[in-house]
Each structure stands twice: as structure tokens, then as C-alpha cells.
Structure 1
């Protein structure tokens, strides 16, 4: 009898979770931000608590899960459209090594002991700090690194039709420079560009599909 009473709750909760996973996209499988991790744990707690509580109806249980999942999807959507807001919510990668020099203050900021840093570096096949040129501590706890002698990694200048001001500042460039560069390649507006990266001293542009088709 108890199992029969619980069955509607299970079915509705699974249905809502399937919708949430679908709307969240495959990025949920990849390393998540702190907000994503906490949000997913809260969803698990809501589902578990609502399913086991005899005083919560199937619709109430589903409603709780749906509201929280909807808020997470909304926040993720807003972050995808506004890089500044995303940086405010999730934070930004912390540079630990610049031009071969360890930025000691940033180790404290990242709350990363140097011994743990050494372990992460060794895991990637780097035997010594002396082999490092640039290193960033990512939001998910992983390292992005460039060894001495390697090419610098690409820097994202335009994202979802908007300029990444922090990355632009990193290159000591301004918006007028970006506009001149995209004009040289036949594009009129920054809003027409899905993303653009600066790599090997050139700007590589990836326009939206509609713009690409129109330029053919």
C-alpha cells in the first residue's frame, strides 16, 4: 500500500528531473560551477525529502522540485547572456603563474596550498614549476597551463555577441580595435558574432549561422 501511494510522487519527480536535465544541457555532465553543484544537491535533498514525507502530496513534491529547477535553469540562461553577471556569480579563473613567476598572493586567494598545486601540476606531466609559463586555477578546481616553449592559449574576445572586457584588457586592446578587426573580415556588428578568439596574433571569428549563411 505504501509503495502504491509513493508511486505517483516518484513518477512526477522523475518527469520533472528529466525536463531539468534536458533544459540544463550536457554541460551538467562536465565539471560544474559551485552554484551548479549546490543547486543539484538541493534538488536531490528536495526530491528525497518530499518523496519520503507522507504529509507532502505528489503535486506539492513536484512543485517544489519544479520551482527550484526552474530557478537554476533561469540563472544559467541569464549567465549565458551576460558574461559580467556570470563572473559575479561564479567568479573568474585565478592566474597562479605569469611569465614563469608564481603569483604567491593568488595562491592565498585561491585557497590552494602549494603542495596541492604541485600535485595537480605533476598529474599533468610537468616535473617542475620551472617548466611553467602560465597557469590558471579554474572554477572547477582544475588547472589550465602553458609550458615554456608552447604557444599561448586562445583568448576569447567576443562571446555570444558581446565583448569580454576582462579578456580585452588582458590583451591591452580596446573596443575600437575589435570593431576594426571584425570590419576587416567583413562583419558589421559585434552582435553578429557568436564568438571570436585571439590566437597566434590574429582574430578568428565564428559568426552566428544566420549571418554566415547571409554572407555566402
Structure 2
């Protein structure tokens, strides 16, 4: 009876895990953020701890894993729709090198030691601090690096209808300028914008697909 209960719980855990990945839109459990990391730890603890606990029924197991999955999906939706909330939950990128100047206070802010920083640089094929133009650490701990003489990195100024103020500051632009540029392209509301990329002093705006389809339909009608 014990092994039957374990087999049933294991099967349910596997099915719930697949459903969670499909519903949340994730294709793998590899963490992209601190929230994902915590979610994986807790999910593993729930499945591993309850499977071998005969005091927890199958229905209780389903209830617990469902509640945690719903909480993770809700958190993911909130992060996608609100960059400020995402910054609070996952943290924000932190600039470490700004136009060749090393920002030592920011190293303390993210608890990054010099040996760890140099190791991360070597992993990105950078072997000399003098090569650096811009460096910032992402919320997941990875470095984004721009070397001297390289073409500036593209910056997403708008993501999912939300202004990315960190990137806007790096582009030396403000919100008034951004809204004026959107107005020139016939966009009055941020909710119309899927992504706006700043690259080589050019702002390229990508709208949500329904609006693209409407434009295509309008063009087809005019052609007729």
C-alpha cells in the first residue's frame, strides 16, 4: 500500500509539473531569476517531502502543489505586466563599470568581490579591466559587457508596454522624449507597444501582433 501511494503521488507530481510548465509558458526549469530559483527549491521540497510521507493524502498533496503553482504563475504574470513589481521581486540590473569608471560602491551593493568579478570577466573572454566600456550585473547574476570600440549594445526602452527606466537612463533619454518619439509613429499609449529598441541612435518600435494584423488588413483593403 505504501509503494502504491508513492507511485500515485509521484505520477501526480510529474503531471502537475508538466501542467505548470505549460500554463506558465516556461519550457524548462532552469532558473531565469531569483523567483524561479526559489520556486524550483520549494517545488522540489513539496514533491520530495510529501511523496514519502504517508500522513499526507493524495488530495492534500494535489491541493498543496496546486496552491504553490498558482502562486508562482500569478507572480510571473505580475512581473510580466509591471516592471516596477518585477524590480522589487527579482531585483534590478546594477551598473558596475560606467564608461571605463569602476563604480566600487555598486560592487558592495551587490556583494561582488574583485576575484568573483574577474572570474566572470574571464568567462566572458575579457582578460583586462582596461578593455571595459560598460558592465552591469543582471538580476540573475550574469554580466552584460560592452568593450571599448564595440558597437553599443541595443537597449529595450519599452518591454511589454512598460518603460524600462534603467535602460532609458543608459540611453541618456527621458520619458518625455520617448513619448514624443512614439507619437511620431502614431502611438499614443504604451499598451500598444510590445517592445521598443534603441540601437545606433534609432528607436525601433514593435507593436503587439493584433495591431500589426490590422495594419496589414488596412493595406489589403486599400490595394483593392
Normalised by the length of structure 1, the TM-score is 0.93
- Residue 62 of structure 1 corresponds to which residue in structure 2? 62
- Residue 12 of structure 1 corresponds to which residue in structure 2? 12
Give deviations 1:48-98, integer Å, cap 9, x for gaps.
111111111111111111111110111011110000000011111111111
- Residue 196 of structure 2 corresponds to which residue in structure 1? 196
Native 8 Å contact 1:157 1:195 kept in 2: yes
Q: Secondary structure at the match of 1:32?
A: coil
Give the stretch that moved more between structures: 25-34 or 189-198.
25-34
Q: Secondary structure at the match of 1:66?
A: helix
Give deviations 1:125-184, integer Å, cap 9, x for gaps.
112000000001112221110000012111211111222233323434333322221232
Matches of residues 1-216 of structure 1 in structure 2 within 5 Å? 1-26=1-26, 28-216=28-216
Q: Structure 1: 5+ residue runs without aligned partners? A: none
Find the aligned partners of 1:90 and 1:149 in 2 and give their Cα distance.
32
Native 8 Å contact 1:50 1:56 kept in 2: yes
Find the aligned partners of 2:124 and 2:11 in 1 and give their Cα distance.
44
Find the aligned partners of 1:195 and 1:212 in 2 and give their Cα distance.
13
Find the aligned partners of 2:128 and 2:90 in 1 and give their Cα distance.
30
Native 8 Å contact 1:9 1:59 kept in 2: no
Root-mean-square deviation (CA), in Å? 1.7
Normalised by the length of structure 2, the TM-score is 0.90
Assess, with a 3 A threshold, how the Cα gap between structure 1 residues 2 and 29 changes in structure 2: closer, same or farther.
Answer: closer
Number of positions where the alignment pairs a residue of Structure 1 with one of Structure 2: 216
Find the aligned partners of 1:35 and 1:152 in 2 and give their Cα distance.
30
Find the aligned partners of 2:31 and 2:40 in 1 and give their Cα distance.
13
Q: Structure 2: 5+ residue runs without aligned partners? A: 217-224
Find the aligned partners of 2:75 and 2:8 in 1 and give their Cα distance.
29
Q: Secondary structure at the match of 1:204?
A: strand
Find the aligned partners of 2:21 and 2:77 in 1 and give their Cα distance.
14
Q: CA deviation at 1:6?
A: 2.2
Q: CA deviation at 1:123?
A: 1.9
Q: CA deviation at 1:46?
A: 0.8
Q: Structure 1 runs of 4+ off > 6 angstroms? A: none
